[in-house]
Chain A
């Protein structure tokens, strides 16, 4: 699929102050967009999708919101900015630094993949966004999670409820565990609609039925119990539940991991379609690189609680810079590559109670240098939009610029999210409104 036009979308562009940056982005867009992973999408090359500037995309998606932005929201702010997130767990034996200084930004309509081995902190990062953390977890001072420029970190539990599910919802891995076995599926989907939106029972059940249709389950199957559905169907029901309140962001925590390949392909296809047509933003957490390759615009590779590499999927996967990303790619059995050329990453992820000094990957790194053992590599942004924390790619080389958390927040990804133009009506916006 190729995007229509040469960069000036139908809505024109917002030239507020960042014209030069935007021009640079355009060049990258043209380069990257032609091969963006959305190519796998069934929506394909149709008029519903057009390439427009990121600001226009943002405004368009926000204009379609079924209900107003939160009161304190800045309508021009990026959707989600995570700055220097540090989430630590207290154990008997000390503090486990599960997430230790992670920054990223998520724009409207964008899909971001969080990739890494188990224990790298990807799930903790996601749970920190909605503060659904176990009791022994603490989000450290200085961490910021800003949704429409509202910092969620200091919010009370009661205040967080305003944002959970209504702005950020989740699809969990084990659908069987996440669904209540003794309640009908449609009732469970209707529950957040009633609770959060104060909708009457009948209307909420009707909407639940429609949401089920939306994810490809006949509405009448809503009256069944979770165990009567197959694994794929349960995962679809979980997605319907996540969509119940028309959230801005859906976090998928290993949403396809336990499923068969064919079902996995179906679910990913569904997520991709929903994202395009509902203007959702997706965060996909997975250890499976292929899932992000097929579904995401950008990927963030985590290692031992830190960002190893982040950037446009196609960029990162076709020319990985960080040795960890390289190893991870090499370890993935690829049916289209030479067989039995599997890479092994020696050793194990470090104990996050006492992570190694310097670069956390250095004990396992094939290209380790002396500096890696003492100095923590800074995050460096390259012109193609890839951010890497590795001494092999220092600032200055290939036009790399050292960035800090605030820079990450200000940096707009060079990819433009696909925008629904005349997609389906979202709640609150249709003829009834």
Chain B
């Protein structure tokens, strides 16, 4: 019996295997070209979002008119200027932060609500399941955009316009909140159906047989087995959130003082940039949105493949 194994040995072993698993994952992921493209695009936009100052200078420079009205791209303004003479590239780069923050926070809200309700409903079953799902159905049938259009002014009225949280204006949180509560329902549905099937598997019965309570079973057994679904879903939610934000800003429900991509598009439309042939006004934010959404879709597909252990059969 080699029971003389010390705790340190074990810790080393644990880290060794963890490192191996991570390397394994990285190696498999590296084979997915679509996933790598997705990551590359995402890293680029994340860099823009995290350090916009490095690329184009602080936010103040974005709101300062430095050129003429609707100037086409030139060496001074690579992507031209808007109707107030502001640099479009500068605006787009700063827009990345706002759009991505909105996407990220909205996704977190959606996933937390959706996964919790889905797992609880799936595990508990019976009356709890039924009532939670009726509640979910209510949100599911509400048209997101209509609800958002109705909610944004309402909440703004209640909260007020001027507050700031972490340097981001409160109005943005209104948008985040609206996106969050309007899109969790489908997530909850998907997670619940998966939880229902996981619940029937023998390892859950075994957990009950050793005396594990419902909390532990949901946290340790159901959640890890629906996490693939959560990740794949989150990626799509993120893309959807950015689109929703764009839409809300575009129809004028955003925050005019925060240059998100949707806001820029909105402004370009107001000015009539498409009619004036000022493609440099709407193309950069539009292309950014398309690229970010695309990168998430690519990433989602690749992750789904790589994380799915059924495809990793060892013979």
- Decide if A and B touch, CB cutoff 8 A: yes
Complex interface: chain B residues within 8 A of A353 (CB)? 315
- Closest residue of chain A to B312, judged by CB? A92
- A352: nearest residue on chain B (CB-CB)? B315
In the complex, chain B residues whose CB is within 8 Å of the CB of A119: 315
> Which residues from A are CB-within-8-Å of B31?
92
Complex interface residues of chain A between 73 and 128 (CB less than 8 A to chain B): 89, 91-92, 96, 98, 119
Give A91 to B31 CA distance when docked, in angstroms.
14
Q: How far is the CA of A96 from the CA of B315 in the complex (A)?
A: 8
Given the complex of chains A and B, what is the CA–CA distance between A302 and B294 in angstroms?
Answer: 50
B315 neighbours in A (Cβ, 8 Å): 89, 91, 96, 98, 119, 352-353
With both beta carbons as reference points, the residue of chain A lying nearest to B28 in the complex is identified as: A92
- Quote the shortest CB–CB distance from A124 to chain B (angstroms): 10
Closest to A119 in B: B315
How far is A2 from B31 in the complex, measured between Cα atoms in Å? Answer: 64
Contact string against A for B residues 13-38, beta-carbon threshold 8 Å, 1 for contact and 0 otherwise: 00000000000000000010000000
| Complex: A352 Cα to B314 Cα, angstroms | 11
Tell me the minimal C-beta distance from B39 to chain A in angstroms: 20
B contact residues, total (Cβ < 8 Å): 2
Question: Nearest Cβ in chain B — how far from A47, in angstroms?
Answer: 50
Mask: chain B, 295-315; 1 = CB below 8 Å from A; 0 = not: 000000000000000000001
Nearest Cβ in chain A — how far from B312, in angstroms? 9
Chain A proximity of B231: nearest CB distance (Å): 22
Kindly list chain B residues whose C-beta atoms are within 8 Å of the C-beta of A98. Answer: 315
Give Cα A92–Cα B315 distance, bound, in whole angstroms: 11
Give 1 or 0 for each of B25-61: 1 = CB within 8 Å of chain A CB. Answer: 0000001000000000000000000000000000000
Q: For the complex formed, measure the closest distance between the CB of B184 and the CB atoms of chain A, giving whole angstroms.
A: 32
**Nearest CB of A to B75, in Å:** 49
Bound together, the chains give a CA A119 to CA B31 distance in angstroms of: 27
Q: Which residues of B contact A89 (CB under 8 A)?
A: 315
Q: How far is the CA of A96 from the CA of B31 in the complex (A)?
A: 20
Interface string of A17-60 (1 = CB under 8 A from B): 00000000000000000000000000000000000000000000
Residues of B contacting A96 with CB < 8 Å?
315
Closest to A96 in B: B315
A364–B315 alpha-carbon span in the complex (Å)? 19
Give a binary string over A360-383; 1 marks a CB under 8 Å from any B CB, 0 the rest: 000000000000000000000000
Cβ < 8 Å to A, chain B residues 151-205? none
Question: Complex: how many Å from CA A98 to CA B315?
Answer: 9
Which residue of chain B is the closest to A353 with respect to CB atoms? B315
User: Which residues on B sit within 8 Å (CB–CB) of A91?
Assistant: 315
Cα–Cα, bound, A92→B31 (Å):
10
CB distance from A140 to the nearest CB of B (A): 17
**Smallest beta-carbon distance A98→chain B, Å:** 8
Cα–Cα distance between A282 and B315 once the two chains are bound (Å): 28
Least CB distance from A419 to B in Å reads 41
A153 and B31 alpha carbons, distance in the complex (Å): 32
The distance in angstroms between the C-alpha atoms of A89 and B315, with both chains bound, is: 10
| Cβ distance A362 to chain B, nearest Cβ, rounded Å | 21
In the complex, how many angstroms separate the beta carbon of A251 from the nearest chain B beta carbon?
Answer: 22
Can you list 8 A-B contacts (CB < 8 A)?
Answer: A89-B315, A91-B315, A92-B31, A96-B315, A98-B315, A119-B315, A352-B315, A353-B315
Interface residues in chain A, defined as those with a beta carbon under 8 Å from any beta carbon in chain B: 89, 91-92, 96, 98, 119, 352-353
Smallest CB-CB A-B distances: 8 pairs: A96-B315, A91-B315, A352-B315, A119-B315, A89-B315, A353-B315, A98-B315, A92-B31
6 additional contacts (CB under 8 A) given A98-B315, A353-B315: A89-B315, A91-B315, A92-B31, A96-B315, A119-B315, A352-B315
